Amino acid sequence: MPWRIRLLTLMIAAGAAASLLQAQETRSIVVDERGDAMIERSFQCSALQWKQWKEQYGNHVDLLGRDLRSDFASAVIDGDPSVVQDDLRRQAVVKLKLRAFADYRSGGQFSIDVPKNMTLVTGSGTDWAFTSSGEILNQTIRFTLPKKAQHPHFSIGGDYNQLSYTLKTAPSRPKALLELGVVLILVAGVLGAISFRGADQNATPPSPPLPHSLP
């Protein structure tokens, strides 16, 4: 094979490989004390992947929101996601707010689903990081738990692995307010009855009828 043809073949192969470079995605997830979360997804693509992403989502934020809702079906997306695109670097940053991202169980216990393909890299206190690597996508997920989170731990099992923690919860105020309301209603009823009876006893008796005059 002539060297020029061989060189052209190598250049084509190198160009094809470059177009299939792995995309890099990072998710930063900050969880608050209610279990809601602010998620920032940033990723960088190859030229071919960026072109495909632009065609599918770049000018269609509504489609991106629809797909994100399917990704986070167990939570509620608060509003529309915000998207910032950088065509020069082939990067995008997507931010969204999720309600009920962490699953509240009982006794102040919360758990977060972690996909089975994610490997724990580091975890202590409120900061936890997981990674996965594939032929097309390298992904990193960083969780920041609430500052007052206690006993955070990672467990394997089920459809998803679990990142769990506990929070001290205050006594249920609605129940206490309901009980106080019932007491106030009873007290008001008793006072009303006493007031009614007192008014009835203090009322001036009616005057006797006047005798009829004799004819």
Q: Quick: pLDDT tens for 57-115.
A: 777 777 777 777 667 767 787 877 888 999 999 999 989 899 999 999 888 999 999 99
Task: Note whether 154 and 128 are within 8 A (CB).
Answer: yes
Query: What does the pLDDT look like over 174-189, one tens digit per residue?
Result: 444 445 555 566 656 6
- Please choose, from the candidates 101, 105, 78, the residue with its C-alpha nearest in 3D space to the C-alpha of residue 169: 105
pLDDT tens string 7-63: 333 333 334 444 446 788 999 999 999 999 999 999 888 888 888 888 887 777 777
> Which ranges of the chain does DSSP label H, i.e. alpha helix?
3-19, 47-53, 61-71, 173-201
Condensed to tens digits (0 to 9), the pLDDT of residues 110-127 reads: 999 999 999 999 998 999
pLDDT at residue 7, as a whole number: 33
What letter would DSSP give residue 148? T
Give the pLDDT of residue 30.
96
Contact status, residue 33 vs residue 146, Cβ threshold 8 Å: yes
- Write the pLDDT tens digit of every residue in 125-155: 999 999 998 888 899 999 999 999 999 999 9
Structure tokens given for 133 = 């690597």
The pTM score is: 0.67
DSSP 56: I
d(CA 17, CA 14): 5
